[in-house]
Amino acid sequence: MKAPKVIVMGVSGCGKSLTGAMLAGELGVPFYDADDYHSLANVEKMAAGIPLTDADRRGWLDELAALIRQEEGGLVLACSALKRCYRERLRGGNPSARFVYLRGDFETIWARHSRRTDHYFNGRAMLESQFRLLEEPAPDEDAIAVDVSATPEQILRQCLVGLGLQGGDSRN
Protein backbone atom coordinates (compact mmCIF):
# COMPACT_ATOMS: atom_id res chain seq x y z
CA MET A 1 0.00 0.00 0.00
CA LYS A 2 1.29 3.45 -0.93
CA ALA A 3 1.97 5.67 2.08
CA PRO A 4 -0.62 8.45 2.37
CA LYS A 5 -0.17 12.19 2.23
CA VAL A 6 -1.96 13.58 5.28
CA ILE A 7 -2.51 17.18 6.35
CA VAL A 8 -3.37 17.56 10.04
CA MET A 9 -5.35 20.79 10.32
CA GLY A 10 -7.03 23.03 12.87
CA VAL A 11 -6.56 26.21 14.85
CA SER A 12 -3.36 27.03 16.71
CA GLY A 13 -2.97 24.99 19.88
CA CYS A 14 -5.24 22.10 18.83
CA GLY A 15 -2.35 19.60 18.75
CA LYS A 16 -1.42 19.53 15.06
CA SER A 17 2.32 19.21 15.63
CA LEU A 18 2.09 16.49 18.28
CA THR A 19 -0.54 14.51 16.40
CA GLY A 20 1.26 14.98 13.09
CA ALA A 21 4.60 13.82 14.48
CA MET A 22 2.99 10.78 16.12
CA LEU A 23 1.09 9.90 12.94
CA ALA A 24 4.20 10.28 10.77
CA GLY A 25 6.12 8.01 13.15
CA GLU A 26 3.38 5.40 13.00
CA LEU A 27 3.26 5.56 9.18
CA GLY A 28 7.03 5.72 8.71
CA VAL A 29 6.86 8.90 6.62
CA PRO A 30 8.45 12.36 7.05
CA PHE A 31 6.73 14.96 9.23
CA TYR A 32 6.66 18.64 8.31
CA ASP A 33 5.31 21.56 10.31
CA ALA A 34 3.91 24.35 8.14
CA ASP A 35 4.97 26.89 10.77
CA ASP A 36 8.57 26.25 9.71
CA TYR A 37 7.75 27.55 6.22
CA HIS A 38 6.33 30.98 7.14
CA SER A 39 8.24 33.99 5.89
CA LEU A 40 9.99 36.17 8.45
CA ALA A 41 7.42 38.90 7.73
CA ASN A 42 4.55 36.50 8.56
CA VAL A 43 6.24 35.35 11.77
CA GLU A 44 6.82 38.95 12.84
CA LYS A 45 3.18 39.83 12.13
CA MET A 46 1.88 36.91 14.20
CA ALA A 47 4.34 37.62 17.03
CA ALA A 48 2.97 41.18 17.12
CA GLY A 49 -0.57 39.80 17.43
CA ILE A 50 -1.57 40.73 13.87
CA PRO A 51 -3.57 38.03 12.05
CA LEU A 52 -2.36 37.00 8.61
CA THR A 53 -4.39 37.86 5.53
CA ASP A 54 -5.13 35.62 2.56
CA ALA A 55 -2.43 37.53 0.65
CA ASP A 56 0.08 36.81 3.45
CA ARG A 57 -0.70 33.10 3.20
CA ARG A 58 -0.67 32.73 -0.61
CA GLY A 59 3.06 32.07 -1.18
CA TRP A 60 3.24 29.96 1.98
CA LEU A 61 0.39 27.72 0.82
CA ASP A 62 1.93 27.38 -2.65
CA GLU A 63 5.25 26.32 -1.10
CA LEU A 64 3.47 23.75 1.06
CA ALA A 65 1.51 22.39 -1.91
CA ALA A 66 4.82 21.94 -3.77
CA LEU A 67 6.26 20.11 -0.75
CA ILE A 68 3.29 17.74 -0.73
CA ARG A 69 3.72 17.05 -4.46
CA GLN A 70 7.47 16.41 -4.10
CA GLU A 71 7.17 13.82 -1.29
CA GLU A 72 6.44 10.76 -3.39
CA GLY A 73 6.66 8.32 -0.47
CA GLY A 74 3.97 10.00 1.63
CA LEU A 75 4.18 12.57 4.41
CA VAL A 76 2.32 14.18 7.26
CA LEU A 77 2.04 17.97 7.29
CA ALA A 78 0.73 19.98 10.26
CA CYS A 79 -0.96 23.06 8.80
CA SER A 80 -3.83 25.22 10.04
CA ALA A 81 -5.61 25.10 6.63
CA LEU A 82 -8.46 27.08 8.18
CA LYS A 83 -10.42 27.88 5.01
CA ARG A 84 -11.68 25.63 2.29
CA CYS A 85 -9.78 27.69 -0.30
CA TYR A 86 -6.54 27.05 1.64
CA ARG A 87 -7.24 23.31 1.67
CA GLU A 88 -8.01 23.40 -2.06
CA ARG A 89 -4.70 25.19 -2.66
CA LEU A 90 -2.83 22.57 -0.61
CA ARG A 91 -4.60 19.72 -2.39
CA GLY A 92 -3.91 21.27 -5.83
CA GLY A 93 -1.87 18.69 -7.72
CA ASN A 94 -2.26 16.37 -4.72
CA PRO A 95 -5.73 14.86 -5.21
CA SER A 96 -5.04 11.90 -2.92
CA ALA A 97 -4.03 14.09 0.05
CA ARG A 98 -6.26 13.56 3.08
CA PHE A 99 -7.14 16.02 5.83
CA VAL A 100 -7.43 15.21 9.52
CA TYR A 101 -9.31 18.02 11.27
CA LEU A 102 -8.53 18.37 14.98
CA ARG A 103 -11.78 19.82 16.32
CA GLY A 104 -12.17 21.47 19.69
CA ASP A 105 -14.03 24.28 21.38
CA PHE A 106 -12.40 27.63 22.07
CA GLU A 107 -12.02 27.22 25.85
CA THR A 108 -10.35 23.79 25.60
CA ILE A 109 -7.88 25.00 23.00
CA TRP A 110 -7.28 28.33 24.75
CA ALA A 111 -6.42 26.48 27.97
CA ARG A 112 -3.76 24.51 26.07
CA HIS A 113 -2.61 27.54 24.16
CA SER A 114 -2.11 29.68 27.24
CA ARG A 115 0.37 27.11 28.63
CA ARG A 116 2.64 27.39 25.58
CA THR A 117 5.89 29.24 26.00
CA ASP A 118 7.79 28.26 22.86
CA HIS A 119 5.64 29.60 20.03
CA TYR A 120 5.45 32.93 18.20
CA PHE A 121 1.65 32.81 17.85
CA ASN A 122 0.57 35.55 20.21
CA GLY A 123 -2.54 35.89 22.32
CA ARG A 124 -6.20 35.22 22.81
CA ALA A 125 -7.23 37.70 20.11
CA MET A 126 -5.15 35.78 17.55
CA LEU A 127 -6.84 32.50 18.51
CA GLU A 128 -10.25 34.18 18.35
CA SER A 129 -9.39 35.39 14.84
CA GLN A 130 -8.55 31.81 13.81
CA PHE A 131 -11.90 30.55 15.13
CA ARG A 132 -13.66 33.32 13.15
CA LEU A 133 -11.77 32.30 9.98
CA LEU A 134 -12.24 28.57 10.48
CA GLU A 135 -14.41 26.85 7.89
CA GLU A 136 -14.87 23.31 9.12
CA PRO A 137 -14.34 20.79 6.32
CA ALA A 138 -17.51 20.02 4.38
CA PRO A 139 -18.58 16.41 3.72
CA ASP A 140 -17.36 16.59 0.10
CA GLU A 141 -13.81 17.32 1.33
CA ASP A 142 -13.54 13.78 2.75
CA ALA A 143 -11.80 14.99 5.91
CA ILE A 144 -11.60 13.05 9.14
CA ALA A 145 -12.73 15.00 12.22
CA VAL A 146 -11.15 14.07 15.55
CA ASP A 147 -12.09 15.54 18.95
CA VAL A 148 -9.06 17.10 20.64
CA SER A 149 -10.34 16.35 24.15
CA ALA A 150 -9.12 12.74 23.81
CA THR A 151 -5.62 11.64 24.82
CA PRO A 152 -2.84 11.90 22.19
CA GLU A 153 -2.87 8.09 21.86
CA GLN A 154 -6.66 8.03 21.34
CA ILE A 155 -6.40 10.84 18.78
CA LEU A 156 -3.70 8.88 16.91
CA ARG A 157 -5.86 5.75 16.91
CA GLN A 158 -8.87 7.73 15.59
CA CYS A 159 -6.69 9.18 12.83
CA LEU A 160 -5.48 5.74 11.77
CA VAL A 161 -8.98 4.27 11.78
CA GLY A 162 -10.39 7.26 9.91
CA LEU A 163 -7.68 6.99 7.27
CA GLY A 164 -8.52 3.32 6.83
CA LEU A 165 -5.15 2.14 8.11
CA GLN A 166 -6.36 -0.75 10.24
CA GLY A 167 -3.95 -1.17 13.14
CA GLY A 168 -1.83 1.66 11.82
CA ASP A 169 0.61 -0.25 9.63
CA SER A 170 0.62 1.20 6.12
CA ARG A 171 3.91 -0.47 5.21
CA ASN A 172 2.44 -3.94 4.48
Nearest to 92 by CA among 104, 81, 108, 106: 81
- Give domain status of residue 35, yes or no: yes
**Residue 78: how many other CB atoms lie within 10 Å:** 28
Flag whether pLDDT at 67 surpasses 90: yes
Q: What is the CATH number of the domain that holds 44?
A: 3.40.50.300
Nearest to 104 by CA among 21, 15, 19, 35: 15
- Give domain status of residue 171, yes or no: no
Flag whether pLDDT at 164 surpasses 80: yes
- Give domain status of residue 1, yes or no: no
Q: How does residue 172 score in pLDDT terms, banded at 50, 70 and 90? A: very low
**pTM for this model (two decimals):** 0.89
Q: Give φ, ψ of 120 to 5 degrees.
A: -75, -20
Q: Give φ, ψ of 3 to 5 degrees.
A: -65, 140
Cβ-contact 46, 54 below 8 angstroms: no
Domain count for the chain: 1
Q: What is the pLDDT of residue 19?
A: 97
- Give domain status of residue 142, yes or no: yes
The sign one gets for the Cα dihedral 73, 76, 77, 80 is positive
- Give domain status of residue 149, yes or no: yes
Q: What is the pLDDT of residue 170?
A: 43
CA 83 centroid distance within chain: 12
CA distances from 36 to 17, 32, 95, 117, 129 (A): 11, 8, 24, 17, 21
- The number of C-alpha atoms within 13 Å of 34 and in the hemisphere containing its C-beta is 31
- Give domain status of residue 60, yes or no: yes
- Give domain status of residue 93, yes or no: yes
- Give domain status of residue 130, yes or no: yes
Q: What is the pLDDT of residue 116?
A: 61
Report d(CA 137, CA 149) in Å as an integer. Answer: 19
Q: pLDDT tens-digit profile of 88-144?
A: 999 988 888 999 999 999 999 988 777 765 555 556 777 888 899 999 999 999 899
- Residue-by-residue DSSP string for 51-95: PPPHHHHHHHHHHHHHHHHH-TT-EEEE----SHHHHHHHHTT-T
Q: pLDDT tens-digit profile of 39-62?
A: 999 988 887 878 889 999 999 999
Domain residues for 25? 10-165
